[in-house]
C-alpha cells in the first residue's frame, strides 16, 4: 500500500493560507491513586495525536461519539486547556504553550460557543453585561460606545435590542444560545469554536440557530470549527468534515467525499447508523458494531478502531495507520486505515457484529 501514500502535508494543500494548524496535539488527563501518597497511576488519553488544518473563513465539522475527544480538542485550540504535547499554530504563530500576555491579542480572535445555554451564561448578569464584558476585558471601544455595539449585536442574532437589561432566565433555550453567539461575535473573531451549539435545543429551534450560525459565517467570513455528534447537522453546516475516534482523527475530507465516498470503516459504520426520517429512501448499507467505544485510559494498540472493526488483521494491532491520502481519493481526503472500504455507501452490504443481534437474527431466518 505504501506506493499509494502521499504525506498529509501535501494532501492537505489548498488555496489560501492555513489559519490554524494543529499537529500531533495531545491531552492526557492524569489519574491519581494509591495510598498513603497519591501518585499518578495512569492517564485518560482524551486527545492523542490530532492533526487538523483550517483555512480562513471555512467551516470544518468535527464529528465523533461521546468520549472521542472532540470537545477537548476544541478547548485545547482555544487554550482553555493546556496541551500535553503537539503543536498549535494560529496564523503562523506557535501558541501551544504561549503565556497569558502572548495570548491576549489572539484570545480575542478565537471565540467559543458552548453547548449548554443554561450554564454558559452568568445568571447574575444582564444580557448587556454578558455581551459587553469581552470588549471590556480586551479594552475595545467601538465607535458609538459599547452599548450601541451590543444593541447591534443583539439585532444581528435576531433578538430585540431592548432586551439589553434583561437577565438570562427570561429567555428560552434558543434565545440563550443566540446570546452566546452575540457574545462570541462581540470581538469580531476570525475563528469560532462551536462546541455542540445546537444539541441541547429542540428540533424546531435547532434549525433557527443553525441558520443564524450559517448567516454569521457567510456574512462575516468567520472560520468555524463546528463540533457535533449529529452527522446530518454537521453535513449541513460544514464544507469539510473530520471524523474522530478515541482521541484521533481517522478521516478528514470535503463534505461530498466524506458523506458519499467514505473510506474508513468507522465512517461507514457511523453513517450507516444515522436514522433517516424517510420510509422509501435509497437503500443504505447496514453496519451494526459490537459494544461501546473502548476506554481512552488504555486504548487499543495500533489502529484504535480495530477492536470493533470487521476488517481488522494482525497488521492493525501492530502498526498504527497514518492519516494519508489513499489512492483513488480526492485531494485533501485523508484516511487513517490499512484496509480501507470501497468508496460507496450504497445498500446491499450488511455487517452485524453485535452478538445479541446476530443470534436473534439468525434464529428468525
Partner 1 sequence: MTTLTKTEDKPAPTGPEAFLSVRDLRVAFSTEDGVVRAVDGLSFDIERGKTLGIVGESGSGKSVTNLTVLGLHNRKTTDIQGEIILDGQELTTASEKEMEKIRGNKAAMIFQDPLTALSPYYTVGRQLSEPFMKHRGASKKEAKDRAIEMLAKVGIPQPQTRFDDYPHQFSGGMRQRAMIAMSLMCDPELLIADEPTTALDVTVQAQILDLLRDLQQEFGSAIIFITHDLGVIANMADDLLVMYAGRAVERGSVREVLSEPKHPYTWGLLSSMPRLGGDTSEALVPIPGTPPSLLNPPTGCRFHPRCRFRDEVPGDLCSTERPLLADGRAAACHLTGEQKQSIFIDQIKPRLG
Strand spans (E) along the chain? 18-33, 39-55, 59-63, 85-90, 93-94, 110-113, 191-195, 223-228, 240-245, 248-254, 286-288, 334-335, 350-352
Stretch that binds partner 1, among 82-90, 111-119, 264-272, 334-342 (CB under 8 A): 264-272
- C-beta separation of 306 from 300 below 8 A: yes
Surface-to-core class of residue 324, CB atoms within 10 Å of its CB (0-12 exposed, 13-18 middle, 19+ buried): buried
Q: Which three cell numbers stand for residue 335?
A: 484516511
233 contributes a contact to partner 1 by CB under 8 A = yes
* 7, 80, 137, 356: residue in contact with partner 1 (rule CB under 8 A): 356
7 vs 356 by CB, closer to partner 1: 356
* 46, 110, 127, 269: residue in contact with partner 1 (rule CB under 8 A): 269
Q: What span, in angstroms and rounded, lies between the C-alpha atoms of 153 and 169?
A: 19
350 contributes a contact to partner 1 by CB under 8 A = no
Stretch that binds partner 1, among 73-81, 146-154, 189-197, 205-213 (CB under 8 A): 205-213
12 vs 289 by CB, closer to partner 1: 289
65 contributes a contact to partner 1 by CB under 8 A = yes
Beta strand pairing status for 93-94 and 110-113?
unpaired
5 contributes a contact to partner 1 by CB under 8 A = no
140 vs 310 by CB, closer to partner 1: 310
* 16, 34, 92, 281: residue in contact with partner 1 (rule CB under 8 A): 281
* 43, 56, 187, 207: residue in contact with partner 1 (rule CB under 8 A): 207
Q: Tell me, by CB under 8 A, how many residues bind partner 1.
A: 51
CA distances from 266 to 108, 243, 333 (A): 36, 9, 15
Window 159 to 188, contacts with partner 1 (CB under 8 A): 172, 174-175
355 contributes a contact to partner 1 by CB under 8 A = yes
Which residues, at least 6 apart from 16, have a Cβ–Cβ distance to it below 8 Å?
55, 56
Strand partners, 25: 50
Neighbouring C-alpha atoms within 13 Å toward the C-beta of 37: 1
Binding site for partner 1 (CB under 8 A): 65-66, 172, 174-175, 202-208, 210-211, 214, 229, 231-233, 235-236, 255, 259, 269-282, 288-293, 354-357, 360-361, 363-364
Amino acid at each position: 500500500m505504501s506506493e499509494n501514500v502521499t504525506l498529509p502535508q501535501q494532501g492537505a494543500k489548498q488555496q489560501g493560507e492555513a489559519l490554524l494548524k494543529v499537529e500531533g496535539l495531545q491531552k492526557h488527563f492524569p489519574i491519581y491513586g494509591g495510598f498513603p501518597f497519591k501518585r499518578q497511576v495512569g492517564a485518560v488519553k482524551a486527545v492523542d495525536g490530532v492533526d487538523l488544518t483550517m483555512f480562513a473563513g471555512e467551516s470544518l465539522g468535527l464529528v465523533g461519539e461521546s468520549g472521542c475527544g472532540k470537545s477537548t480538542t476544541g478547548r485545547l485550540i482555544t487554550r482553555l486547556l493546556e496541551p500535553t504535547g503537539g503543536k498549535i499554530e494560529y496564523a503562523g504563530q506557535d501558541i501551544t504553550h504561549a503565556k497569558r500576555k502572548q495570548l491576549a491579542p489572539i484570545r480575542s480572535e478565537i471565540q467559543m460557543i458552548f453547548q449548554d445555554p443554561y450554564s454558559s451564561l452568568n445568571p447574575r448578569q444582564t444580557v448587556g453585561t454578558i455581551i459587553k464584558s469581552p470588549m471590556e476585558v480586551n479594552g475595545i471601544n467601538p465607535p458609538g460606545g459599547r452599548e450601541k455595539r451590543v444593541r447591534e449585536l443583539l439585532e444581528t442574532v435576531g433578538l430585540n435590542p431592548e432586551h439589553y437589561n434583561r437577565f438570562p432566565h427570561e429567555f428560552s433555550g434558543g434565545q440563550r444560545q443566540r446570546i452566546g453567539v452575540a457574545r462570541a461575535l462581540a470581538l469580531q473573531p476570525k475563528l469560532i469554536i462551536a462546541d455542540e451549539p445546537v444539541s441541547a435545543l429542540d428540533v424546531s429551534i435547532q434549525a433557527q440557530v443553525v441558520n443564524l450560525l450559517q448567516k454569521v459565517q457567510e456574512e462575516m467570513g468567520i472560520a468555524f470549527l463546528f463540533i457535533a455528534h449529529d452527522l446530518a447537522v454537521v453535513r449541513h453546516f460544514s464544507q469539510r468534515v473530520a471524523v474522530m475516534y478515541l482521541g484521533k482523527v481517522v478521516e478528514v475530507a470535503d463534505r461530498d467525499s466524506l458523506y458519499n465516498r467514505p473510506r474508513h470503516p468507522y465512517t461507514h459504520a457511523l453513517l450507516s447508523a444515522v436514522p433517516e426520517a424517510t420510509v422509501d429512501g435509497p437503500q443504505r448499507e447496514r453496519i451494526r458494531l459490537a459494544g461501546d467505544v473502548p476506554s481512552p485510559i488504555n486504548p487499543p494498540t495500533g489502529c484504535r478502531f480495530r477492536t470493533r472493526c470487521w476488517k481488522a488483521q494482525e497488521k492493525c494491532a501492530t502498526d498504527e495507520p497514518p492519516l494519508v491520502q489513499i489512492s483513488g481519493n480526492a485531494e485533501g481526503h485523508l484516511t487513517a486505515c490499512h484496509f480501507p472500504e470501497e468508496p460507496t455507501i450504497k445498500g446491499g452490504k450488511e455487517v452485524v457484529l453485535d452478538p445479541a443481534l446476530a443470534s436473534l437474527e439468525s434464529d428468525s431466518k
